[in-house]
Structures are given as C-alpha cells and as structure tokens.
Amino acid sequence: MDALRVTFLGTGTSQGVPRIGCGCPVCVSTDFRDKRTRCSLYVESPELSWVVDTGADFRTQCLREGVLRVDAALYTHAHTDHVLGFDDLRPFCHIDRPLPLYGSAATLGQLAQMFAFAFDPANRVPGYVHPLPNVVDGEFVLGEIGVLPLALPHGRITSTGYLFRRGEVPLLAYLTDCKTVPTEVEKAVSGVRHLVLDALRKKSHPTHLSTGEALEVAGRVGAGTTWLTHLCHDHLHGELEAELPSGVRVAYDGLKLEM
C-alpha cells in the first residue's frame, strides 16, 4: 500500500439517490455511478484504517466494499445522514479495546445523547459499541498520518473537515457539508493532491455549496484533482463530468484513490 488508500463509501445527500418515489432521469438512471448512498469515507494507511462518518447506509457500504478493519471513526457533524449507522461499528469494537471517536465537542456531545446506551459505562458488555471520545481541537495523528481538523460553516452549526497528510505532504482534504470554505481553510489545503468538496446541486442552497460555488473553491485551492461529493439528484454523473473543467471530477460510490 502507498501512503493512503481512500474508498468513497457514499457520495449522496441526505435522502440518497435514487430518492424514494422519484422518477427523474437521475433516479431512474441505469448508470451505477448515479446510485448514491449517504456520504462516508473509508481511509486505509499502512498502520491504521478509519472511517469518516457512519451514515444510515454504513452497514451496506461496509459489506459492499469488504471493510474488515476500522481502528477509529472521525465525524464531521451529527446530522442524521452522517451518524445513523453508528451502531454498525459494533463488529469493529472489543470489550477490552474501545474504539476511538474524533470530532468537535458539539458533535461528540450530540452522539452521546443520540446513542446514550453506547456511552454508558454500565453497558461495557460484548457486542456493544465501546466508544473512546476524543475532542479535536488541533492536529492529531493516526498511525503515521497527520490529521488537521478544519472548521466549516454549515447553516446554524459548524462541521469539521479533515486534511490528511504524511509528513509535510498534503494528501487529501475532505470538505463536505459546508456553505462556504473560509479563506484560512483554503490556505490550509492549498496544493493538496486530492480535494473532496461538497457540491450538492445546481442552484444555491442555504447550507451547502452549489456546483458553481464548489468550482470557485476548487479554482482557488488548486488541488491536483478535485472530487465533487454529497450530490443530490440534480446531476447525471456522465453529463456533469463532461461539463467540468480539467482537474475536477465527480466522485461515486466505490471509487478508490491511491496516493
């Protein structure tokens, strides 16, 4: 394995694509890239493996991609489409080895409320999730990978993006669920090899980047490749990718990057 292998477990918005009851061209598309489960990322390094978010489709995603090892879970925020698969972390937990969780104080606090049974010390029994919460307030390390949390405005809350780097080499920045990317975040991820960016839909949205807004951010950051994610049913994958400028691509469920 190289420094990092990344698998997009899910690249869709909160309702997924296809949406229930929708007969639009995207929702009835036969292109496998237009089948989008809720956003999640699986990251493997030579030392450790971890997930970013555990949405409602997390169990199915792990079975689809053959995920056998999770050493930690990182969370961007506690909206339901990013956390409802929390209890499906159970196969990766051991009674004598709690699973480290990373996120903002607000996010971890909400997880503790939503899944109080798992955070209750009285429930340290085999078969349960055994979390070890870690508040991210600065760079931390997973194996040999430095992880820099990045604050992103997302409506009335702040979500957390993550920059992964080995040594001084910025490998991948994951910036999903954000309305804007602050200047200081753009500077922090400037020149990253892979930028993964929220790009919900064509028209403006109050809490997410539109496709056009995402392209403006991509142009300023200057990543080796920018990947658009968290897409709703506005875009057929093939049509959108054909319209994009050089260096910008559309992520899809199951896509793997080696770096």
| Largest CA-CA distance found in the chain, in angstroms, rounded | 55
> What letters, b where the CB count within 10 A reaches 16 and e where it falls short, cover 228-256?
bbbbbbbbbbeebeeebeeebebbbbbbe
User: How far, in Å, CA of 143 to CA of 254, rounded?
Assistant: 24
Q: Which CATH architecture has domain 5-258?
A: 4-Layer Sandwich (3.60)
Q: What is the mean pLDDT of residues 190-195?
A: 97
pTM over 0.75: yes
How many C-beta atoms lie closer than 10 Å to residue 227's C-beta?
Answer: 23
How confident is the model over 206-233, as pLDDT tens digits? 999 999 999 999 999 999 999 999 999 9
Q: Provide the pLDDT for residue 88.
A: 97
Q: Where are the domains of the chain?
A: 5-258
Asked if 188 contacts 209 with a C-beta cutoff of 8 angstroms, the reply is no
Q: Is the pLDDT of residue 58 over 70?
A: yes
90 three-state secondary structure? helix
